[in-house]
Amino acid sequence: MASPTGTSDAPFGRMLTAMVTPFTSDGAVDYEGVQRIATYLVDEQRNDGLVVSGTTGESPTTTDEEKDRILRAVLEAVGDRATVIAGAGSNDTHHSVELARAAERAGAHALLVVTPYYNKPPQEGLYRHFTAVADAADLPVMLYDIPGRSGVPILTETLIRLGRHPRIVAVKDAKADLFAGSQVMAATDLVFYSGDDTLNLPWLSVGAAGLVSVVGHVAGAELASMIDRYRSGDVAGAVALHRQLLPVVTGIMTRTQGAIMSKAALKLVGQDGGSVRLPLVDATEEQVASLREDLIAGGLKLVDS
């Protein structure tokens, strides 16, 4: 499946957001809300790609049927003008394979496959897991290296091995090791995307193609401009935007959990991201008040400011 926004050096586009899943007050998926948020992210926040059913999409608490309907809703809304990447990872290889095949049937442009979490497999297990998922569907794969959640990093040697697979083409890095990522980029054709909003500009500086952001829910246009400035040689302008957005990154990524604060931030800018599902809980009044100050300090326009 060809990506509508990809290029050889950025196969999934450059500005991507790991999209929230809106839920109604009674805990059901709001599929109209899914399409509304997807459209807003592409048309107003300059996203040329979206990741659905990732961490920020609360994928551990959605059923396979819900994941399929969410993916199809996003594809219907924006699939002709944005790369739609389906989260297909779990800590069960067989289940991940089934998710990959279902995503291909639904029309996904690519797969995001996270490191198996909780069971802490050895590197050979990681290699076989990712290979099995990549073999299961004729879709390009972005690996998601996030040891803070999975408990296990994908080591440099393993990434180099995986980079030989014809369908494993990219890495979303949330390992915060720019040197290790540089080694992998130097040794393979794997394309890196920043998966850590605190390091977006540093990752661009060592060769990352773009971002898979959470902050992009409300600052995607600014992040896209930062990418444009950096790539055009206006490093000072990119640094200025990086610094401008520091309060926004602080508010969304460090005060509590990213999906919680993304939905609170969306509400502050006039978008309905819905509620979260247990075991997550919605932001408190105090957290929202702090977040409001963070967004204003970052130069974002709120609905009542």
Question: Catalytic positions, please?
Answer: 144, 172
What is the distance between the alpha carbons of residues 90 and 74, in angstroms, rounded to a whole number?
21
Q: Are 129 and 121 in contact (CB under 8 A)?
A: yes
Distances (CA, A) of 95 to 54, 71, 133: 15, 17, 9
What is the distance between the alpha carbons of residues 283 and 20, in angstroms, rounded to a whole number?
15
